[in-house]
Chains A and B, each alone.
Chain A
Amino acid sequence: MKIHLQDGTSRAFKGGPATVSQVLLSLGVNPVEVIVSRDGKVIPEDTFLGPDDVIRIIRVSHGG
């Protein structure tokens, strides 16, 4: 699974089947603070991800 992070970098996630929340928490990201999309479509945090999925993390918190 490939993950595009909010800072513009990418990471691979190697593990068993996992939900969006579990992947985020493994990266130290609180699911309350981000929105995740797969193939350009927003998905809920309890969606199970497959090994070939590519997801993007969008940070929602914004100062100013």
Chain B
Amino acid sequence: MKTDSGSPALSPVCDLCGKAAVFLDRIRNRHLCAAHFIDDVEERVRRTIQEYAMVQPGDRFAVALSGGKDSTVLLHLLRRLMPGADLVAVTVDEGIDGYREATLRSAGANTRRLGIEHSTISFLEMYGKTLDEIVREHQDRACGICGILRRKAMNTLARRVGAAKLATGHNLDDESQSVLMNWLRGDRERILRRPEEFGGQGFIPRVKPLMEIPEKEVALYGILNGLFVELPECPYMHSALRSEVRGILTSLERGHPGTMRRVVEGQARLSQHLLAVPRAARPLRACERCGDPSTARLCQACRLLHTGAGSETIVSLDR
């Protein structure tokens, strides 16, 4: 380890320029200073956007902006990497008391600072109730219910603003958690999902430019660029399976650097392999209640909200 000998404590220095390091890359076994760390993250995101052909000329891009660190970093990165792109930030206000107010303020402040158009939709407007009201009797399944309703709301808003693509701030940790959760639930549909089915059939195509960046590096990029504001945690976070899976994966990542990347790459290889397997397409039709694309008589959100509203429906959807 190179160190800065002038410091009272032994402080590592950047392997590229000798300045004080801010980050130890445990996979590539090197230290980076702030400037080289920022360059490295931006280059990797640029490569991801190119490799997956996420941007086509003339695309109007909706950026899902919750106001938290991931989506805030995503918005700044897209503006920096694609200065001429037609970006519009879209925010869903689920109605989570004591949590969403602060993140909504953060979202508004960032879009004003960047001069980016910003549009918001709420669960109250979409469904007539806040998430707090919807999950009052089902708090242990709040994340699953919120995910279904938020996706529908986000898709509605993205269509409303005329977007061709929806960019979300999912990072490597999120992606690896989703893969492991699908296996833990025995969710054959999602495990065997083909590349063209990602994001949901009939929905505005979603892209994830941060999907190869670990959460810690997204946060560090935010801190180094003055974007990181400590915000309250979602009150439903700890009730979710995701919270336990997060702990398992970060523990494995600590002992075996690169675990999260390998989990995601393994799933991607499986998805690519499935391209060669013939499969009858499931025909899409319009949901009988809302008209959104659906493979069943009612879309997931309408089944959740309108068929018996009781626990059975919610349990079956949230697995």
Interface size on B, residues (CB 8 A): 44
Q: Once the chains bind, are A50 and B9 in contact (CB under 8 Å)? A: yes
- How many A-B pairs fall under 8 Å by CB? 84
Query: Please, how many angstroms separate the alpha-carbon atoms of A40 and B173 in the complex?
Result: 26
B265: min CB distance to chain A, Å? 18
Which residues in A have their C-beta under 8 angstroms from that of B286? Answer: none
Given A35-B223, A61-B215, answer yes or no on A42-B24 (Cβ-Cβ < 8 Å). no
B253 contacts chain A at the CB level, 8 A cutoff = yes
Interface size on A, residues (CB 8 A): 24
A3 contacts chain B at the CB level, 8 A cutoff = no
Given A32-B216, A63-B233, A64-B66, answer yes or no on A47-B9 (Cβ-Cβ < 8 Å). yes
A49 contacts chain B at the CB level, 8 A cutoff = yes
B243 contacts chain A at the CB level, 8 A cutoff = yes
Which residues in B have their C-beta under 8 angstroms from that of A41? Answer: 20, 22
Interface on B for A, CB 8 Å cutoff? 1, 8-12, 20-24, 31, 34, 66, 68-70, 96, 99, 103, 173, 215-216, 218-220, 223-224, 228, 230-231, 233-234, 236-237, 240, 242-243, 246-247, 250-251, 253-254
Given A32-B254, A42-B34, A60-B69: 10 more A-B contacts, CB < 8 Å: A32-B250, A41-B22, A42-B22, A42-B220, A44-B24, A47-B11, A62-B231, A62-B234, A64-B103, A64-B234
